[in-house]
Structure 1
Amino acid sequence: MALEEQIFHDLGRCTVGLNAPLQFDASVQGWLQLLSGRTLVVLPTEVRADAVELLRLCTQRRLDAMDCTPSVLETLVTAGLLAPAQGPWPRALLVGGEPIAPALWERLAAARERRFYNVYGPTECAVDATLAVVEPGSASPHIGFALPNVEVHLLDEHQQPVMVGQRGEIHIGGAGVARGYWRRPKLTAQRFIADPFCTQAGQRMYRTGDLADGWRLAPSSFSAGRTTNSRSAASASSREKFKRRSCGCTACVRPPSSPRAAEPQRAWWHTSRPTGSRWRIGARG
């Protein structure tokens, strides 16, 4: 479990709140916490709909971690999440599903009682593919770097790496990529394509439809978008036509700090491996 290494390991045998509906892919993360010996508190629907009651329950049950969308997080902040009287519960919040507004990001980064994590990834890639810690010094919203066993590539319409500073579509490879859509071979062929960056034969990567810049990829509904109407494997039947629409889901890729002038500057990608250096960056000519 990638999030186990990055987040939950430091929390130990904690209490986790299941805030996502059971039909939502994010709920799988909560159930998996049971396998690690943690206590899982299923948050009632009526409590999840009331920010004040939700914060009260977090304190009563001493929830260490919980996931939510930025929209829900906004209501929690309004209800007093960041106020001293709320105390330290929950200690960690995993935020995903929508872009975090810059103003909210700044408030979260200044919080000292708890930690906030911005997670990004589609159902087709085991939900979470990248992680960003919202902390002081991160001036604008972004979704961080690839989680262990995940590869993130920025490619153009021909599936070629974009030049540094240009916008490309996020493609995700690695161990978490699904096999395809159930009984949808045509759609599977469109979205799950061969991974030319992987040394193992037969590996595929997923076209997310999300756009990002190749230097620093910060999510913004004004500067980022989607090339396609990608949808989760559980409900991929109704959004197959290509069109653009606003989105805020992007990744974070940086080139080496001092590339040699003679080296080609055509492509940069981030790779997270279970062994060796945590982050690997490469260039293709």
Structure 2
Amino acid sequence: ANLPASDPDPRALGLSSRHLAYVIYTSGSSGTPKGVMVEHRGVVRLVAGNDFVAISPQDIFLNASSPTFDATAFEVWGALANGASVVLYPGRYLSTATLAQIIQDQSITIAWMTARLFDVYVGEGRSTDRLQQLLVGGEEVSVASIRACQKRHPTLRISNGYGPTENTTFSLCYPVPPDLDDQTRVPLGRPIRNSVAYLLDERLQPAPLGAIGEIYVGGAGVARGYLNRPELTAERFIASPFVAGDRLYKTGDLARYLP
């Protein structure tokens, strides 16, 4: 009762957007867990004022990801920071039948699925009637699954989300058009708001149009680095050769620009 009803001034407490929001462990392709230090500004850039998903107070998010998976930051804070509701998936084991039942019973409007879960979900003929927006990713998304889902539910907005944990969940996003007939692979899309992406060669020079280059991502989502791994941090988080003071994360993924 003696405490003030208002929030304290974060600046008076010395807090800033550069303080840590969380440390999350990821193995990536190496198989060796590394603690990624994500700052508050990275999470804010993911969930507030973003341009890859439209979130309103009328939406109902599904949080089906494990708390140890960085998609949870998007599912939970993407909902709560925008006035939407969030439904927590019950139990420890993910079942497509339970998932479909929750989407139906709780009128879920926005959900995220890994590419493999999406393949199984669509392959089993599970319903997406309640969903309005679906984000898929984590690895390459099947064109056949996208087409099958669109055929069953043509009004559903599907997006392919790409990004490493080191750049706070999503870096690039591709809104899938209604007709994918002329494509054999689903593109990664363009950088989301407050993010940047480059395709660079081994000399850190931009790859020509159509040529293969390594993806480097930057912007407000770039993590502080790896916890207690200064050498690995220096190897993967580099100073931007294009913008003074900016940092880029070396993803190790290869890509090329499409027209």
Indicate the TM-score class for this superposition, using the shorter chain for normalisation. 0.7 to 0.9
Are 2:214 and 2:251, in contact at CA under 8 Å, matched by a contact in 1?
Answer: yes
Please name the residue that 2:255 is paired with: 212
Show the 5 A alignment for 1:125-204. Answer: 125-138=167-180, 139-140=182-183, 141-198=186-243, 201-204=244-247
Please name the residue that 1:281 is paired with: none
Please name the residue that 2:31 is paired with: none
**Residues in 1 aligned to 2:246 and 2:85: alpha-carbon distance in whole angstroms:** 36
| Percentage identity across paired residues of the two chains | 33
Corresponding position: 1:52 with 2:97: yes
* TM superposition score normalised by structure 1: 0.68
Of residues 136, 140, 164, the one that matches 1:99 is 140
Q: Structure 1 pair 41/11, CA: closer, same or farther in 2 (3 Å)? A: same
Q: CA deviation at 1:108?
A: 3.7
Q: CA deviation at 1:80?
A: 2.4
Larger relative contact order, structure 1 or 2 (CA cutoff 8 Å, min sep 6)? 2
Q: CA deviation at 1:43?
A: 0.7
Q: Structure 1 pair 143/189, CA: closer, same or farther in 2 (3 Å)? A: same
Of residues 83, 102, 106, the one that matches 1:37 is 83
Corresponding position: 1:70 with 2:109: no
Q: Structure 1 pair 120/87, CA: closer, same or farther in 2 (3 Å)? A: closer
Q: CA deviation at 1:87?
A: 6.3
Number of aligned residue pairs: give it: 209
Runs of at least 5 residues in structure 1 that lack an aligned partner in the other structure: 217-253, 255-285
Show the 5 A alignment for 1:267-282. Answer: none
Corresponding position: 1:120 with 2:162: yes
Are 1:109 and 1:134, in contact at CA under 8 Å, matched by a contact in 2?
Answer: no
Q: CA deviation at 1:71?
A: 1.1
**Residues in 1 aligned to 2:134 and 2:117: alpha-carbon distance in whole angstroms:** 11
Query: 1:45 is matched by which residue type in structure 2?
Result: G
Q: Structure 1 pair 113/52, CA: closer, same or farther in 2 (3 Å)? A: farther
**Residues in 2 aligned to 1:50 and 1:150: alpha-carbon distance in whole angstroms:** 34
Are 1:131 and 1:143, in contact at CA under 8 Å, matched by a contact in 2?
Answer: yes
Q: Structure 1 pair 12/117, CA: closer, same or farther in 2 (3 Å)? A: farther
After superposition, the C-alpha distances for 1:67-109 in whole angstroms (9 at most, x for unaligned) are 111111122113323xxxx462122111010111222233344
Q: CA deviation at 1:202?
A: 2.1
Are 1:172 and 1:205, in contact at CA under 8 Å, matched by a contact in 2?
Answer: yes
* TM superposition score normalised by structure 2: 0.74
Runs of at least 5 residues in structure 2 that lack an aligned partner in the other structure: 1-44
Q: CA deviation at 1:191?
A: 0.3
